[in-house]
Amino acid sequence: MSNRTVVFPEQGAVTLEERDRPDPAADEVLIETETSLVNAGMELAILAGESPEGSTGTNSGEFPYVPGFANVGTVREAGPEAEVAPGTRVASWTPHAAWVTATADDCVPVPRGLSYDEGALFAIAQVVMNGVRRGRVDWGETVVVFGLGVLGQLTVRLCHLAGAETVVGVDLLESRLDHLPDATGVVGVNASQRDPADALITATGHPADVAFEVTGDPALIPSEFDAIREQGRLVVLSRPTGETTIDFHDAVSAPSHEIIGANQRSHPTVATPANPWTKERHASLYFSYVQQSRLAVSDLFTHVVDAANAPTIYADLLADRSDSMAVRLEW
């Protein structure tokens, strides 16, 4: 049986190839894809030939490249050692393809009733949850989020859910500010019109306790320290490429600021008493919040595209993604 698969054969090119359907190994399941989320930041960087030097694995950017990292579908076959029953709807960290395989341990059951939109954002949510946890966001704190793409939007929502008293979202585009939730304690700042540090003082009377870097622009990082208090934390949730020049005495040492990396690979591979929060557990927590209507995400989707039109949507996003938010393919 053929298997439609999104492929980047070379820099700047996207095709939909007919490949062989994979067979599950003993500990794997075969999944028929329903929808898959486009990771616009990473995938477009790779497509444009801008993957960071030294990147490996799924971020390597070597062509031909098969993109994709967030898949929701239904298990159709299970290997003899895979304890997931056929017919189970699951989320997995697998590519944009009509059929994919994943180990049973890497599959997270998707609760009944969740929409494709809600299901597809699980992988972004677990990245953000890991960052919020590493950033130690606590009751009553003030948080500032620089960059309001999908990652930043979920950071705002999850920091608010984690108990932050005020969350300030910062971006240059008014269209992105419009996606912020209409919730008490959530404030939008257009950085082209107001200085974020001044806006924080106006909104709360003091600098932020925690800042999240989600722009991906290394040139903006030095100014982000201006928005946090002494002994505050800067969480790097994005993948900034290129050099950043800062005065470590003035920006870090003297105010005792803390810089925290939050790559999703810092999740523990297995749950331990010291850190039980694996990717799978964060994904399950995300599904629980959505089910309880404590987290709304469907309004973040600006593009829902038939997989057959994948080359077109990638070309459009590569040319201009200023008005795009979450993008997913339907199979």
Rounded CA gap, 97 and 31, in Å?
Answer: 10
- pLDDT-derived band of residue 56, with 50, 70 and 90 as boundaries? very low
> Which top CATH class is 2-121+297-330?
alpha beta
Rounded CA gap, 147 and 237, in Å?
Answer: 10
Architecture, CATH, for domain 128-266: 3-Layer(aba) Sandwich (3.40)
Segment 77-123, tens digit of pLDDT:
999 999 999 999 999 999 999 999 999 999 999 998 999 999 999 99
How is the chain split into domains, by residue range? 2-121+297-330, 128-266
pTM of the predicted model as reported, rounded to 2 decimal places: 0.94
Q: What is the mean pLDDT of the chain?
A: 94
Segment 129-183, tens digit of pLDDT:
999 999 999 999 999 999 999 999 999 999 999 999 999 999 999 999 999 999 9
